[in-house]
Structure 1
Amino acid sequence: MEDKNVAVKSEPAAPSDVRPAVGTMIEGVNTPFAYTKFLLCSFAGLALFLIPIKWNGDWTIGVSILSDSLMVYIEPVIAWLCVTITPVSAILSLLAKLAKPRFIMEHKMMKDLFDVEWFWVIIRALGGIFIVMVFLQVGPEFIVGELTGTVAYNMVVWLGGLITLCTWLIVFLTDFGFMEFCGVMAEKIMRPVFKLPGRSALDCIASWLAAPPVAVMITVGQYEDGYYTDREASVVSTCFSLVGISAVLVHIQNLHLKHYFFPIYGTVCIAGVACAIICARIYPLGTKKDTYYKGVCNAVPQQLPANTSRFSFAMNRGLAKAQSVKSAGPLARLCLKNTADIWIGLTPVIMALATIALILAEYTPVFDILSYPFVPLLNLLQIPEAAAVAPTFLIGFPDQLMAAVVGGATVTSEYSRIVIAIVSLNQLIYMSETGALLMKSSLSINFKQLVIIFLERTIITLPFAMIAAHLLTA
């Protein structure tokens, strides 16, 4: 596999005139136009991605409301695009490998999209076959059934609409100075506690309030733009892409624990911080290299100049970034490229991996067998119904909601259901969403590492879940 991460010096040359030497203020950025761009676009990004809104009785964010509202009208179009583009992606990928036509190989964007490794060609082919079978309801039940292929198909359609919309709107949050502002303001906390740059604080907030795919998309985009190293982006995307607030409510309802929403979510947040602190320092995340995507670093250490307040320096950095955006053209081209990559590269992967994982969970004893080592541990910890609880710790790997569905149907102990809720919500690595996104991304994260991170988070979260369950049921 091509190594896209090339080691660079810790203080590379500034790639543009708006990224000065460390410890200096940028002159000439305090203009009315720069302030207008920074404030209006940052507010738009906050309103869309970070400000909680109560909608139809549930807490969510603006972009989710916009996506859901649009999907009422365009869902058939999105579904048709998924069913059409996914097989085409597989066919053109096979063509690029076998025939190497000039219209693909001599066109940079086409080559980047379709000339991929054989593993991804096979995955795209499976995704194309599965999505057509589910759409036409043709084929064996274990592929097209309501608990396997249909779940994956619905996930692909939902993600297709949501992530496409986010691709075009996320620039308000990432390209007009708000990331730079947050980077300076949060550097003193994020660096010593999580070994991350200050700008990752915004990713963390977006992760906790938005859908996990949105958070992963923000992080990978920042990595490819040279603001994160491979290690930093890997930590943020695997440790902070928490399940959104609205999804947490659905999860808890399936476990019949709605009356414990706030204490459970509070425990998830506390355990999530503990997981991030620990996982950032141990294998595999702690051993990843601080290398930049294609050797290009746009990150500058956020050291304060002498006699300058942190807020003033943060505003200066934000205004400089806002002023550097001269026109909408480059941003539109970038959004168009990212949209093409989502439809060509991502939807087949999610369809294939999610379907396979759900088939294994529904029709094979794989997860029951793998969970056997947990049973003695849970018995030792005196968790009620240990044999029924153990599979839920692993069955969430294909899709996070499966742990709640299975636990709600098979576990009667309220104590145990609280443990299941907190552990499964904090595992984060779900192959139907974040797992597939991370494997397809430019980060150096492979399947084995995802499994290890999943297990690490399970073990770290378990004591927090037990304490919360004991306090709530005492």
Structure 2
Amino acid sequence: MNQQKIPKQLPPSLWVKFIGLSSIGVFMFFIPINLGGVKTIPIDHIVIWIKQGLGEYAKLYILIMITAGTIFPVVTGSWRHKPNEKHFLALKCLGLLLTAFAISGAGPALLHEADMLPFLLNKLVIPVGLIVPIGSIFLTLLISYGLLESTGTLLHSVMKPVWRTPGWSAIDAVASFVGSYSIALLITNRLYIKGQYSTRQAAIIATGFSTVSAAFMIIVANTLDLMEIWGLYFWTTLVITFTVTAITTRIPPLSGLNDQQKAHSQEEPISERLFKQQ
């Protein structure tokens, strides 16, 4: 039986995609530029332009998105199947109500003070609602053309001894950091259920690498006027996050979690998943 041969040299087209498209992704997320007197990364410039172009319709867009997210589990009936979905549905309904208050001006006067609903709507909800879908488009350039895989290969020898996770978790860790941490948590959970992560490894990734994302860091940086030092802010946050994760893996409760890799059932009680000893 003929074995498939691995080519010694990659086609030039793959190198072009790897270097060219990955470089565009790095530029979009990590290189601040000055446009119109505003210095920020390109993806944030796009969000600013769209927000300005939409004007007051940005609030309508957010209301539609939140409404859709609230009624979707009701229409599909998914909220009945998992206990936590009921709690999330209640929070979504509360969020929808507060969004309606913020846009319409209804509700208690206390909620409409400058640092309450107006601040949340204009500084957090609208920017996040715009940057997540836009960031997802350009995130493909970072994760789909070899940059993350090469990063994972380079970090393979340090992931296990330093963070006590498999070598391939380097890809998951970086993807969690530069992408959406909520999506990263879903990915980690799926890999955990399939048995590719042990309980301890999944918990390390979820509570360490997946606690922050570049997209949300942009929101925080804009709120605190830190975009002038975006590079320093980003890399400092990355180093601190990974350093703290390396420490917390060695202390309870993470150090006491089960470290055996096996497939898990979604119906298995969470208490049994988390605190089985080796």
TM range (shorter): 0.5 to 0.7
Partner of 2:152: 183
Partner of 2:31: 52
Q: What letter matches 1:68 in structure 2?
A: I
3-state SS, counterpart of residue 88 of structure 2: helix
The CA distance in 2 between the partners of 1:194 and 1:248, in whole Å, is 28
Partner of 1:231: 203
Partner of 2:92: 124
Conserved? CA contact 1:41–1:176, under 8 Å:
yes
**1:266: Cα distance to partner?**
8.8
Conserved? CA contact 1:226–1:293, under 8 Å:
no
Q: What letter matches 1:47 in structure 2?
A: F
1:174 aligns with 2:143: yes
Equivalent residue for 1:146, pick from 114, 119, 123: 114
Give aligned-pair identity as a percent. 19
The CA distance in 2 between the partners of 1:78 and 1:114, in whole Å, is 32
The CA distance in 1 between the partners of 2:64 and 2:21, in whole Å, is 35
What are structure 2's unaligned runs of at least 5 residues? Answer: 271-278
**1:66: Cα distance to partner?**
2.5
Q: Against the structure 1 CA distance between its residues 180 and 150, is the aligned structure 2 distance closer, same or farther, given a 3 Å change threshold?
A: same
The Cα offsets for residues 149-177 of structure 1, whole Å up to 9 and x where unpaired, read as 22222211110000011122212212222
Partner of 2:250: 281
Q: Against the structure 1 CA distance between its residues 248 and 151, is the aligned structure 2 distance closer, same or farther, given a 3 Å change threshold?
A: closer
Q: Against the structure 1 CA distance between its residues 175 and 81, is the aligned structure 2 distance closer, same or farther, given a 3 Å change threshold?
A: same
What are structure 1's unaligned runs of at least 5 residues? Answer: 1-24, 97-103, 106-110, 297-443, 446-474
TM-score under structure 1 normalisation? 0.42
TM-score under structure 2 normalisation? 0.67
The CA distance in 1 between the partners of 2:225 and 2:250, in whole Å, is 31
CA RMSD of aligned residues (A): 4.4
**1:77: Cα distance to partner?**
3.8
The Cα offsets for residues 242-297 of structure 1, whole Å up to 9 and x where unpaired, read as 884884586488xxxx9xx97x999867654542221222334444556889869x
Q: What letter matches 1:63 in structure 2?
A: I
The CA distance in 2 between the partners of 1:198 and 1:84, in whole Å, is 41
Partner of 1:68: 48
Q: Against the structure 1 CA distance between its residues 167 and 156, is the aligned structure 2 distance closer, same or farther, given a 3 Å change threshold?
A: same
The Cα offsets for residues 55-83 of structure 1, whole Å up to 9 and x where unpaired, read as 36776433223322332213544421221
The Cα offsets for residues 362-385 of structure 1, whole Å up to 9 and x where unpaired, read as xxxxxxxxxxxxxxxxxxxxxxxx
Conserved? CA contact 1:170–1:218, under 8 Å:
no
Partner of 1:37: 17
The CA distance in 1 between the partners of 2:153 and 2:81, in whole Å, is 39
The Cα offsets for residues 80-134 of structure 1, whole Å up to 9 and x where unpaired, read as 122133234434544x4xxxxxxx35xxxxx5x8976221121111111111011
The Cα offsets for residues 168-220 of structure 1, whole Å up to 9 and x where unpaired, read as 22122122222111111112233322224455556766787x6xxx4515633
3-state SS, counterpart of residue 106 of structure 2: coil
Conserved? CA contact 1:131–1:153, under 8 Å:
yes
The CA distance in 2 between the partners of 1:58 and 1:231, in whole Å, is 39
The Cα offsets for residues 132-151 of structure 1, whole Å up to 9 and x where unpaired, read as 01100011023333222222
The CA distance in 2 between the partners of 1:159 and 1:147, in whole Å, is 18
CA radius of gyration, larger in: 1
The CA distance in 2 between the partners of 1:88 and 1:249, in whole Å, is 27
The Cα offsets for residues 405-428 of structure 1, whole Å up to 9 and x where unpaired, read as xxxxxxxxxxxxxxxxxxxxxxxx
Equivalent residue for 1:135, pick from 78, 83, 103: 103
Conserved? CA contact 2:176–2:184, under 8 Å:
no
The Cα offsets for residues 29-52 of structure 1, whole Å up to 9 and x where unpaired, read as 823343333333322222222x33
3-state SS, counterpart of residue 55 of structure 1: strand
3-state SS, counterpart of residue 190 of structure 1: helix
Partner of 2:275: none
The CA distance in 1 between the partners of 2:250 and 2:81, in whole Å, is 36
Q: What letter matches 2:210 in structure 1?
A: S
Instruction: Note the 1:29-428 alignment, pairs <5 A.
Output: 30-49=10-29, 51-55=30-34, 60-74=40-54, 76-94=56-74, 96=75, 104=76, 111=78, 117-154=85-122, 155-198=124-167, 214-217=179-182, 219-220=184-185, 222-223=187-188, 226=191, 229=197, 230-234=202-206, 235-238=208-211, 241=213, 244=217, 247=220, 251=224, 272-288=241-257
The count of residues paired between Structure 1 and Structure 2 equals 248
The CA distance in 2 between the partners of 1:165 and 1:286, in whole Å, is 38
Q: What letter matches 1:236 in structure 2?
A: F
Q: Against the structure 1 CA distance between its residues 267 and 45, is the aligned structure 2 distance closer, same or farther, given a 3 Å change threshold?
A: closer
Q: Against the structure 1 CA distance between its residues 171 and 92, is the aligned structure 2 distance closer, same or farther, given a 3 Å change threshold?
A: closer
The CA distance in 1 between the partners of 2:262 and 2:41, in whole Å, is 30
The CA distance in 1 between the partners of 2:261 and 2:25, in whole Å, is 26
Q: Against the structure 1 CA distance between its residues 162 and 30, is the aligned structure 2 distance closer, same or farther, given a 3 Å change threshold?
A: same
The CA distance in 1 between the partners of 2:257 and 2:146, in whole Å, is 28
